[in-house]
């Protein structure tokens, strides 16, 4: 790295550097604030990058001036092993829900009574359909962020929330007292366009889709790697301020003050003088909510005066001074043109409604799920019917009812097709007691396509160039008839190059990714095989509990269910899979292709994976357990034990008379656990 300043005049230079760092931070904070809160670019992207990099360099060269609230620290820390817990100053409560105007009127009547006719106002706010969040500032600087959790304590998601650009790490405002410490609460959410973008990427990577922006938000704030979070573009709207010093006398003024502090609030909140104005707000947003860039699921009505809020108080875990009016899911009526079948990788057949395209919640809908046979027959849904469809924030809308008045006279009851829609037209079978039909022909091309897509997907064998489109081509052109054919593709280079979509370069890339996948850890292969009911977690457990695939194949039901987290249904499915002759041939072929069949995580006494990937160091005298036993215990829960403390260490377990390792851990900021605290962690399992 280049020295930014020469060593000779260091005493003179250091204060100057500190000043420059401070100036750069203030400048970047100002640019960020304007850009993310007011959509205002004060400088070009290039200029911004230059000063950002200058700050990064100066901080790297002068670590003594490092600061947690520097804008460079938004995506600072390393990936976490797990979240710490934060106990809330006051419990995080929820709201009572209503679905009708009468109930809102009832809420208003109770308030009027309790306030004995003194005048009052309401604040109406959008009810963001996201995840609630608490953020604390100490002396004007970001301190920590927590999820709601059980209402009393939540996960410490500070590292993730610091990646949200609208959240200042240091408050800018001049209106603040120096030592300002306070808490704000609000909702973290994703815009619909980001939700769609992320799901589209997931389609490409063959990853499971998120059902709605809320689920995606919840998944995002719980990611263990802040760098991944930063890519997702989270937003926050704060709607509550708690502070000893700066509390105003009304909620509306608090909302304004949140904004004055430089924190994001909702620009849509409105002060209402009476119930009519409240209904006006409700009706306006019920009609216009699809125009918002994010999803809302209702309106929150809050008493404005804080004193009056105190008079009303709380009932159970909700305030009496506020209520949520929930919107009905958006609905539309359209014609059901056809019912088609979709075949999944396990052969499960899902009926899909092919609809006359109709506008619903801002998008045009032409398909909806019909779930399974029972769903269709209970509602007596028929081709040609007019149906009511609903979009409750989910990607795939649902058919909720049939408009019987509009049913054509000649309509006939829907009979579930007897045969699979693929070319082989195999008989569909409905196992006793199940709502689903299955295509049980293992040669079914629809199933094969899904199986290959799953096998190659990121969390399974992670063969990057083998996405949906390429899989389809390779199957249609006869190159892939079974999973094991993936590893035979290298013998067909000349023919593959002739396929229009593939050039030499992409074939090389594909074949390299396929070769690379042979080295994957065993759990990825187990997951990739697509054994029914065996997801990622169970695959990891199996790889920890058996030395290799052969041992799993040999295991009987008793042995399988003796493993924590492997239930009866899973055990039966594993046995069925390994008994199947076709699967046996597949495994022989995969072994011939030299895929990794051996576990590198095998430990005969795996109890759980609660400590997966967490690195411990043991030191001092432990009271209740020997060192060896503690090591065994950690490993049996998926953790690792290392001999010395380094930056990679997650926890030091320090017994009595701990010495130099403890000092090193303190230096490096490694968390130190007492023996007692360590057992507390394990109890959570
Ligand atoms: S006030 C004590 N205001 O809805 C009441 N909540 O159960 C605190 N929400 O958990 C909540 N937008 O996650 C409030 N403008 C808003 C909101 C809002 C969304 C969520 C919040 C809360 C749930 C209500």
| 331-438 matches 445-519 in fold | no
pLDDT tens track for 479-537:
999 999 999 999 999 999 888 878 888 899 999 999 999 999 999 999 999 998 898 88
Q: Is the CB of 675 under 6 A from ligand 1?
A: no
pLDDT tens track for 103-143:
999 999 999 999 998 999 999 999 999 999 999 999 888 99
Q: Mean pLDDT of all residues in the chain?
A: 88
In this prediction, residue 682 carries a pLDDT of 72
Burial call 253-270: b when 16+ CB within 10 Å, e when fewer: bbbebbbbbbbbbbeebb
Q: Sign of the C-alpha dihedral, residues 293, 296, 299, 300? A: negative
User: What pLDDT band is residue 38 in, cutting at 50, 70 and 90?
Assistant: low
Query: Separation of 30 CA from ligand 1 center, angstroms?
Result: 29
How would DSSP label each residue in 478-540?
TS-SSGGGGGGGGGGHHHHHTSTT--HHHHHHHHHHHHHHTTS-HHHHHHHTT-TT--HHHHH
Q: Is the CB of 95 under 6 A from ligand 1?
A: yes
Q: Is the CB of 606 under 6 A from ligand 1?
A: no
Q: Is the CB of 238 under 6 A from ligand 1?
A: no
Query: Separation of 162 CA from ligand 1 center, angstroms?
Result: 21
Query: Separation of 243 CA from ligand 1 center, angstroms?
Result: 19
Query: Separation of 577 CA from ligand 1 center, angstroms?
Result: 47
CATH topology of domain 445-519: DNA polymerase; domain 1 (1.10.150)
Distance (Å, whole) CA 475 – CA 451: 11
Distance (Å, whole) CA 529 – CA 597: 12
**Residues 444/427, Cβ–Cβ less than 8 Å:** no
Catalytic residue at 165?
Answer: no
From atom 22 of ligand 1, which residue's Cα is the shortest distance away?
94
The angle formed by the CA atoms of residues 431, 437 and 440, to the nearest 5 degrees, is: 80
> Is the predicted pLDDT of residue 2 greater than 70, yes or no?
no
CATH topology of domain 522-592: DNA polymerase; domain 1 (1.10.150)
The angle formed by the CA atoms of residues 90, 267 and 331, to the nearest 5 degrees, is: 95
Burial class (CB in 10 A: 0-12, 13-18, 19+), 213: buried
**Residues 490/512, Cβ–Cβ less than 8 Å:** no
| CATH code of domain 10-73 | 1.10.287.610
In this prediction, residue 6 carries a pLDDT of 46
pLDDT tens track for 425-461:
999 999 888 888 999 887 888 999 999 999 999 889 9
What is the 3-state secondary structure of 31-69?
Answer: HHHHHHHHCCCCCCHHHHHHHHHHHHHHHHHCHHHCCCC
Query: Separation of 235 CA from ligand 1 center, angstroms?
Result: 15
> Is the predicted pLDDT of residue 348 greater than 60, yes or no?
yes
Show the tokens assigned to 30.
């100002």
The CATH architecture annotation of domain 97-326 reads 2-Layer Sandwich (3.30)
In this prediction, residue 203 carries a pLDDT of 72
Backbone phi and psi for residue 186, each to the nearest 5 degrees, phi listed first: -170, -160
Least confident of 296-305, 314-323, 551-560, 674-683: 674-683
Place of tokens 């109406």: 124
The CATH architecture annotation of domain 615-683 reads 3-Layer(aba) Sandwich (3.40)
Distance (Å, whole) CA 590 – CA 529: 11
Distance (Å, whole) CA 362 – CA 291: 7
Show the tokens assigned to 28.
């970047």
Q: Please state the domain extents for the chain.
A: 10-73, 97-326, 331-438, 445-519, 522-592, 615-683
Question: Nearest-CA neighbor of 71 among 34, 19, 37, 27?
Answer: 27
> Is the predicted pLDDT of residue 218 greater than 70, yes or no?
yes
In this prediction, residue 405 carries a pLDDT of 95
Residue 654: enclosing H or E segment and its boundaries?
strand 651-654
The CA distances from residue 356 to 151, 174, 387, in Å, are 45, 58, 10
- Which residues have C-beta within 8 Å of that of residue 345, sequence separation ≥ 6? 447, 450, 451, 453, 454, 530
Q: Is the CB of 309 under 6 A from ligand 1?
A: no
- Which residues have C-beta within 8 Å of that of residue 365, sequence separation ≥ 6? 332, 334, 355, 357, 358, 359, 389, 391, 397
- Average pLDDT, stretch 178-206? 86
Tell me the H-state helices in 323-434. 373-379
- Average pLDDT, stretch 455-471? 90
Distance (Å, whole) CA 91 – CA 38: 32
First CA to last CA distance, the chain: 46
Burial call 597-622: b when 16+ CB within 10 Å, e when fewer: bebebeeeebbebebbebbbbbbbeb
Q: Atom of ligand 1 at shortest distance to CA of 319?
A: 2
Q: In this structure, are strands 615-619 and 640-642 parallel, antiparallel, or unpaired?
A: parallel
Between residues 218 and 33, the one the model is more confident about:
218
From atom 16 of ligand 1, which residue's Cα is the shortest distance away?
127
Q: Using most ligand atoms within 8 A of CB, pick from 133, 190, 236, 239 the residue to mutate for ligand 1.
A: 239
Query: Separation of 126 CA from ligand 1 center, angstroms?
Result: 9
User: What pLDDT band is residue 75 in, cutting at 50, 70 and 90?
Assistant: low
Q: Using most ligand atoms within 8 A of CB, pick from 126, 128, 217 the residue to mutate for ligand 1.
A: 128
Catalytic residue among 30, 46, 127, 505: 127
Between residues 15 and 299, the one the model is more confident about:
299
Show the tokens assigned to 565.
């987290």
* Rg, C-alpha atoms of the chain: 30
Question: Nearest-CA neighbor of 417 among 438, 402, 387, 443?
Answer: 438
In this prediction, residue 528 carries a pLDDT of 96
Burial call 636-657: b when 16+ CB within 10 Å, e when fewer: bbbbbbeeebeeebbbbbbbee
**Does pTM surpass 0.85?**
no
Show the tokens assigned to 301.
């009505």
**Residues 441/343, Cβ–Cβ less than 8 Å:** no
Question: Nearest-CA neighbor of 70 among 32, 35, 40, 16?
Answer: 32
Show the tokens assigned to 221.
């704030």
Q: Is the CB of 325 under 6 A from ligand 1?
A: no
In this prediction, residue 173 carries a pLDDT of 62
In this prediction, residue 206 carries a pLDDT of 64
User: What pLDDT band is residue 4 in, cutting at 50, 70 and 90?
Assistant: very low
Q: Is residue 611 classed as helix, strand or coil in its secondary structure? A: coil
Q: Is the CB of 625 under 6 A from ligand 1?
A: no
> Does the domain formed by 331-438 have CATH 2.40.50.140?
yes
Number of Cβ within 10 Å of residue 446's Cβ equals 22
Distance (Å, whole) CA 143 – CA 671: 18
pLDDT tens track for 566-595:
888 899 999 999 999 989 999 999 999 999
Between residues 603 and 193, the one the model is more confident about:
193
pLDDT tens track for 668-680:
888 888 888 888 7
Query: Separation of 127 CA from ligand 1 center, angstroms?
Result: 6
pLDDT tens track for 80-110:
667 888 988 888 988 988 989 999 999 999 9
Query: Separation of 119 CA from ligand 1 center, angstroms?
Result: 25
The CA distances from residue 307 to 49, 115, 118, 311, in Å, are 48, 11, 12, 6
Q: Using most ligand atoms within 8 A of CB, pick from 88, 95, 151, 183 the residue to mutate for ligand 1.
A: 95
Q: Is the CB of 295 under 6 A from ligand 1?
A: no
> Is the predicted pLDDT of residue 1 greater than 50, yes or no?
no
From atom 18 of ligand 1, which residue's Cα is the shortest distance away?
127
Q: Is the CB of 239 under 6 A from ligand 1?
A: yes
Q: Is residue 638 classed as helix, strand or coil in its secondary structure? A: coil
User: What pLDDT band is residue 7 in, cutting at 50, 70 and 90?
Assistant: very low
């Amino acid at each position: 790295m280049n020295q930014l300043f020469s060593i000779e005049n260091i005493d003179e230079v250091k204060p100057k550097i500190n000043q420059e760092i401070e100036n750069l931070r203030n400048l970047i904070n100002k640019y960020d604030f304007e850009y993310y809160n007011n959509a205002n670019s004060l400088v070009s992207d290039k200029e911004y990058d230059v000063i950002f990099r200058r700050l990064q360099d100066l901080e790297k060269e002068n670590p003594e001036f490092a600061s947690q609230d520097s804008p460079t620290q938004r995506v600072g820390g390393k990936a976490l092993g797990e979240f710490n817990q934060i106990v809330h100053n006051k419990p995080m409560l929820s709201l009572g829900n209503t679905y009708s105007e009468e109930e809102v009127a009832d809420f208003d009547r109770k308030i009027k009574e309790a306030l004995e006719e003194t005048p009052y106002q309401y604040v109406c706010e959008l009810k963001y359909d996201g995840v609630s969040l608490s953020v604390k500032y100490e002396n004007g600087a970001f301190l920590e962020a927590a999820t709601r959790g059980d209402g009393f304590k939540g996960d410490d998601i500070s590292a993730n929330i610091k990646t949200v650009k609208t959240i200042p790490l240091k408050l800018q405002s001049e209106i603040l007292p120096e030592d300002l410490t306070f808490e704000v609460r609000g909702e973290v959410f994703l815009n619909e366009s980001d939700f769609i973008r992320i799901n589209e990427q997931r389609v490409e990577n063959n990853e499971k889709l998120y059902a709605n922006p809320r689920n995606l938000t919840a998944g995002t704030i719980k990611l263990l790697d802040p760098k991944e979070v930063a890519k997702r573009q989270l937003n926050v709207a704060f709607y509550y301020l708690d502070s000893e010093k700066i509390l105003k006398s009304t909620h509306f003024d608090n909302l304004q003050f949140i904004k004055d502090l430089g924190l994001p609030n909702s620009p849509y909140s409105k002060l209402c003088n009476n119930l009519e104005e409240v209904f006006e707000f409700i009706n306006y947003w019920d009609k216009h909510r699809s125009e918002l860039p994010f999803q809302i699921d209702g309106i929150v009505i809050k008493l404005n005066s804080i004193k009056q809020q105190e008079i009303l108080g709380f009932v159970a875990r909700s305030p009496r001074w506020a209520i949520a009016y929930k919107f009905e899911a958006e609905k539309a009526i359209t014609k059901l043109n056809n019912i088609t079948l979709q075949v999944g990788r396990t052969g499960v057949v899902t009926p899909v409604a092919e609809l006359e395209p109709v506008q619903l919640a801002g998008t045009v809908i032409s398909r909806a799920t019909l779930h399974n046979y029972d769903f269709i027959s209970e509602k007596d849904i028929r081709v040609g019917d007019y149906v009511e469809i609903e979009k409750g924030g989910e990607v795939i809308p649902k058919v909720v009812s049939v408009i019987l008045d509009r049913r054509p006279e000649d309509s006939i009851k829907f009979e579930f097709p007897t045969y699979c829609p693929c070319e082989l037209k195999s008989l569909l079978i409905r196992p006793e007691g199940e709502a689903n039909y299955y295509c049980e022909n293992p040669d079914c091309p629809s199933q094969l396509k899904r199986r290959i897509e799953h096998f190659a997907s990121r969390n399974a064998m992670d063969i990057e160039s083998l996405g949906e489109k390429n899989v389809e081509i390779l199957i249609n052109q006869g190159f892939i008839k079974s999973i094991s054919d993936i590893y035979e593709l290298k013998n067909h280079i000349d023919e593959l190059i002739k396929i229009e979509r593939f050039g030499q370069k992409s074939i090389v890339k594909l074949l390299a990714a396929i070769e690379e996948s042979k080295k994957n850890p065993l759990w990825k292969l187990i997951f990739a095989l697509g054994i029914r009911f065996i997801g990622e977690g169970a695959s990891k457990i199996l790889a920890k509990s058996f030395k290799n695939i052969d041992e799993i194949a040999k295991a009987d039901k008793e042995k399988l269910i003796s493993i924590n987290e492997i239930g009866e249904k899973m055990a039966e499915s594993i046995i069925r899979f390994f008994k199947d002759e076709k699967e046996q041939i597949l495994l022989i072929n995969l072994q011939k292709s030299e895929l990794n069949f051996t576990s590198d995580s095998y430990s005969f006494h795996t109890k759980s994976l609660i400590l997966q990937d967490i690195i411990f160091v043991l030191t001092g005298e432990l009271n209740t357990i020997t060192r060896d036993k503690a090591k065994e215990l950690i490993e049996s829960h998926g953790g690792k034990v290392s001999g010395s403390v380094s930056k990679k260490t997650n926890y030091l377990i320090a017994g009595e008379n701990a010495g130099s390792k403890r000092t090193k851990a303190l230096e490096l900021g490694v968390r130190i656990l007492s023996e007692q605290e360590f057992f507390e962690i394990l109890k959570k399992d």
